[in-house]
């Protein structure tokens, strides 16, 4: 199909996008889901919106490009491609310095090894990705202008933006991009992104097509691949080919800010990059102050030493609620806790015992009591409500003590006693305590053993980790833009984080089919089967998905956090 609009522009659509458009027309896709899915297949948001408008007969406002072009997806201009939430308001006041409290980076900040929220937040100010995964899981072009997947989702081609320069003045080339991904996928480099690329991308799979085009040939079909090279894989900031070890000396990147001053363990200050390829940053200067502790961040906000807190807990947000000039940015994420039950060991080898424990839990009480309402209910599978492919019509599991007792009886357990291990941090001790209380009501005695995080995760390999070896445990999973990692690593037979030791051939097959399914309707059908299978088998209890909360001073607009831990300040303005 070819869509004609504007004066003389013709756009040939990707077959997947064409199919999506049909689904939308048939009413099987919401507008938002269409936009998200079209973006994965490289259709710029503005174009996708124009397509929808064309469908409904209203006048589209397409991307202006000069001259007749024929392409698989149109080119957004720089202005449109910058991730924006709001356009500058005419009443906006200039911000000389914007101060934000972020988590203390755990150690040396280096794009290849960064593995913590503080570090990636700093990195995200100066570095940029091929595309940006926003808080609605929409992919927006950043250093790639467009991308396209093959029909089997095995080969992905990205066209790079031209006119992008690193902070030292050198132009960004296709070789820099290739080197970035080859480094991250190389098992001989201590790359933190390796676990994301495992089984999908090898250094050899990264190929230069021409000066502006790069191709990824994957080891297996993966229809959500663009998320893996987006900001979701926070290590994937595009870096110069000759990136050295001492990144902290330069904090080089292509982003809207560049380094002014770095004081380890104290703060980092960035100034506007005058040579930025996109719209220049709003604030003249941003100062990210490092804090270990939430109460210190809250007090600094109240004392007006910072105007943004990158992330606050539900409890922190509650305590700021009485501060008159505090406002919140609050959105759903896929961040969650998993309670795993060893499916290959007593007493949880019997599926009924696993179901019984899951039925004990008062989820609504957990979300209200522990998260103060700042969470979405979980249904014991990793399909968070935020994912477009999640089938939300699968019935929600609810507390049912009677049924739990009956299941235990059928399984031949009058009463039983199990050790629950985890670490002391975030909502884990609270969830463990509630589960302990709930379980007692049906005769399951849980003995809690909470250590520090390092002890719980141990060497993080089977046989040398309380996390992966325990009969019952709680593990914290950070946000991902697509559910694939959770589905594979923590539940597939060969999953490296499969703490439940879940082995189910049907499940494994479904997960492969899900990864290969390119259109959303198909993904959703498979998702439903996976959701139902996991509810029946219950290798995991997933009680909730956290909401991500950022605190800002009232009047500050345009700040864009992601559930991964980025905090985009380039568009910030004060109104």
Least Cβ distance, residue 116 to another protein (angstroms):
7
Please state the closest distance from residue 287 (CB atom) to another protein, in A: 11
Closest distance to another protein from the beta carbon of 475 (Å): 8
Q: Using the minimum distance from each CB to another protein, give the nearer residue, 171 or 264.
A: 264
Shortest Å distance, C-beta 266 to another protein: 5
> Helices 15-25 and 31-40 meet at what angle, rounded to 10?
180
For 139-274, strand residue ranges (E) read: 139-141, 144-149, 155-160, 206-210, 213-217, 257-263, 267-272
Q: Which helix (H) or strand (E) holds 207?
A: strand 206-210
* Closer residue to another protein (CB): 266 or 345: 266
CB-neighbour burial class of residue 96 (10 A; exposed 0-12, middle 13-18, buried 19+): exposed
- Least separation in angstroms between CB 159 and another protein: 29
* Residue of 177, 145, 12 whose CA lies nearest to 76: 145
Cα end-to-end span (Å), the chain: 45
CA distances from 409 to 131, 362, 416 (A): 53, 21, 11
Decide whether 64 or 190 has the Cβ nearer to another protein. 190
Binding site for another protein (CB under 8 A): 104, 106-108, 110, 113, 115-116, 187-192, 194-195, 198, 245, 264-266, 289-293, 295-296, 299-300, 302-303, 305, 452-455, 457-461, 465, 467, 489, 496-497
Find the shortest distance in angstroms from Cβ 198 to another protein.
Answer: 6
Comparing CB distances to another protein, the nearer of 20 and 491 is: 491
Closest distance of CB 97 from another protein, Å: 12
CB closer to another protein out of 455 and 529: 455
Q: What are phi and psi of 402, to 5 degrees?
A: -60, -50
* Residue number with CB closer to another protein (32 or 108): 108
Neighbours of 89 (CB within 10 A): 12
**Which residues touch 231 (CB under 8 Å, ≥6 apart)?**
124, 129, 131, 132, 133, 142, 562, 564, 566
Cα dihedral sign, 415-416-417-421: negative
Shorter beta-carbon distance to another protein: residue 147 or 502: 502
Give the nearer residue to another protein in terms of CB position, either 159 or 192.
192
Closest CB 246 distance from another protein, rounded Å = 8
Give the nearer residue to another protein in terms of CB position, either 71 or 113: 113
Minimum Å gap between C-beta 296 and another protein is: 5
Determine the Cα angle at 220 with ends 214 and 223, to 5°. 70
What are the beta bridge partners of residue 227? Answer: none
Closer to another protein at the Cβ: 113 or 313? 113
At 462, list the tokens: 């089977």
**Residue 391, SS3?**
coil
Tell which residue, 22, 52, 45, has the closest CA to residue 137. Answer: 45
Give whichever of 69 and 266 is closer to another protein, judged by the CB atom. 266
Going along 211-323, which residue ranges are E strands? 213-217, 257-263, 267-272, 285-291, 308-312
| Cα within 13 Å of Cα(298), Cβ side | 15
Burial class (CB in 10 A: 0-12, 13-18, 19+), 1: exposed
Rounded to an integer, what distance in angstroms lies between the CA atom of residue 311 and that of residue 478? Answer: 13
DSSP state letter for 170:
P
Residue pair 123/138 in contact (Cβ under 8 Å)? The answer is: no
CB of 113 to another protein, least distance (A): 7
Please report how close the Cβ of residue 502 comes to another protein at its closest, in angstroms: 18
Query: Which token pair is 357?
Result: 């424990």
């Amino acid at each position: 199909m070819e869509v004609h609009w504007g004066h003389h522009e013709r756009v040939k659509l990707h077959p997947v996008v064409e199919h999506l458009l049909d689904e939308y027309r048939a009413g099987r896709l919401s507008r938002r889901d269409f936009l998200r899915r079209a973006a994965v297949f490289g259709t710029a948001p503005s174009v996708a919106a124009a397509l929808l408008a064309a469908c409904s007969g209203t006048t589209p406002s397409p991307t202006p490009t000069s001259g007749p072009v024929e392409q698989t997806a149109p080119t957004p201009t720089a202005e449109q491609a910058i991730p924006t939430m709001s356009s500058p308001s005419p009443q906006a006041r200039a911000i000389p310095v914007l101060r934000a409290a972020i988590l203390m980076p755990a150690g040396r900040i280096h794009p290849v090894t960064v593995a913590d929220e503080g570090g990636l937040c700093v990195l995200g100010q100066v570095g940029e990705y091929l595309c940006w995964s926003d808080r609605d899981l929409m992919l927006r072009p950043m250093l790639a202008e467009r991308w396209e997947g093959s029909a089997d989702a095995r080969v992905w081609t990205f066209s790079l933006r031209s006119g992008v320069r690193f902070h030292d003045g050198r132009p960004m080339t296709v070789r820099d991009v290739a080197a970035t991904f080859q480094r991250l996928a190389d098992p001989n480099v201590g790359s933190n992104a390796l676990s994301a690329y495992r089984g999908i991308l090898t250094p050899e799979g990264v190929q230069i097509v021409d000066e502006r085009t790069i191709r990824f040939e994957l080891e297996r079909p993966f229809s959500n691949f663009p998320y893996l090279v987006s900001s979701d894989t926070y290590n994937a900031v595009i870096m110069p080919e000759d990136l050295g070890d001492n990144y902290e000396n330069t904090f080089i990147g292509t982003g809207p800010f560049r380094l002014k001053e770095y004081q380890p363990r104290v703060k980092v200050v960035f100034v506007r990059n005058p040579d930025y390829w996109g719209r220049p940053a709003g604030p003249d200067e941003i100062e990210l102050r490092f804090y270990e502790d939430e109460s210190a961040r809250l007090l600094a906000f109240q004392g007006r030493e910072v105007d943004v807190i990158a992330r606050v807990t539900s409890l922190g947000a509650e305590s700021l609620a009485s501060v008159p000039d505090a406002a919140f940015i609050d959105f759903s994420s896929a961040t969650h806790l998993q309670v795993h039950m060893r499916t290959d060991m007593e007493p949880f080898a019997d599926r009924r015992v696993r179901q019984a424990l899951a039925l004990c839990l008062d989820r609504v009480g957990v979300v209200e009591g522990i998260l103060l309402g700042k969470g979405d209910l979980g249904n014991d599978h990793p399909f968070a409500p935020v994912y477009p492919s999640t089938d939300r019509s699968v019935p929600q599991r609810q507390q049912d003590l009677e049924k739990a007792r009956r299941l235990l009886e059928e399984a031949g357990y009058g009463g039983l006693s199990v050790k629950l291990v985890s670490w002391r941090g975030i909502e884990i001790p609270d969830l463990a305590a509630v589960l302990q209380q709930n379980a007692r009501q049906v005769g399951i005695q849980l003995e809690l053993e909470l250590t520090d995080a390092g002890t719980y995760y141990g060497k993080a390999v089977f046989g040398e980790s309380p996390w992966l070896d325990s009969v019952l445990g709680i593990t914290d999973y950070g946000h991902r833009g697509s559910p694939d990692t959770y589905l594979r690593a923590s539940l597939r037979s060969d999953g490296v984080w499969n703490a439940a030791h879940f082995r189910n051939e049907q499940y494994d097959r479904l997960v492969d089919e899900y990864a290969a399914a390119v259109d959303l309707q198909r993904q959703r059908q498979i998702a439903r089967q996976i959701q139902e299978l996991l509810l029946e088998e219950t290798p995991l209890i997933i009680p909730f998905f956290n909401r991500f909360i950022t605190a800002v001073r009232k009047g500050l607009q345009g700040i864009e956090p992601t559930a991964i831990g980025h905090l985009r300040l380039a568009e910030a303005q004060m109104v």
